[in-house]
Amino acid sequence: MAQADYEQLNGIALAYLGDAVYEVYIRTYLLSLGMSKPNRLQKKATHYVSAKAQAALIDLMEEDGILNDEEWSYFKRGRNANSYTHAKHTSVLTYRMSTGFEALFGYLKLSGQDKRLDELSNWCIEQVDRGRIEHED
C-alpha cells in the first residue's frame, strides 16, 4: 500500500487519519478491560475521544511539556486548518483544538513513529483514567 506524504497533507487530512488511529487505541484499550457491550463501549469511549477530551489532553500536553517542536507544528497545522464542518456539541475553539490533536496523531502514524504513537496514546489514556480531565456522563 502506498504511503501518503504527510509533509504535503493539510491539517484536515491528517486529522481524518488521526481520528481513526486514536480511536483504535481507545477501542483496543476498552476491550482489554473486558468490556464487550457496544452501548457501554461507546459511552466509555467518549471520555477519551470527544472533542472536549482531546482539547483538554492537548492542554495537559502543553502543561506537562511532552510534545517536541515538530509535534506542536503538526498540531497547529490541524488546529489552524480551515474546516467547513464543526462539532455539534462544542465550541469552535474546542473543535479546532481537537482537530489539531487528531492531526498530530495522523502525522505520527504517517511518519512511521509507532513507538511515539504508543507513548502518547498510553499517556492520554492514563490522564483520563487518573481524572485529570473532566467528562460528562
Residue-range domains of the chain with CATH: 11-129 (1.10.1520.10)
pLDDT at 135: 66
pLDDT at 29: 97
- Work out the pLDDT band at 68, boundaries 50, 70, 90: very high
Please identify every residue annotated as catalytic.
19
Write down the mean pLDDT value for the chain.
Answer: 91
Distance CA 30, CA 24 (A): 10
- Work out the pLDDT band at 89, boundaries 50, 70, 90: confident
pLDDT at 90: 85
DSSP 97-111: HHHHHHHHHHHHHHT
Structure confidence by residue, pLDDT tens digits, 15-47:
999 999 999 999 999 999 999 998 999 999 999
**Structural contact between residues 51 and 87, judged by C-beta atoms closer than 8 angstroms:** yes
pLDDT at 134: 78
The number of beta carbons lying within 10 Å of the beta carbon of residue 16 is: 16
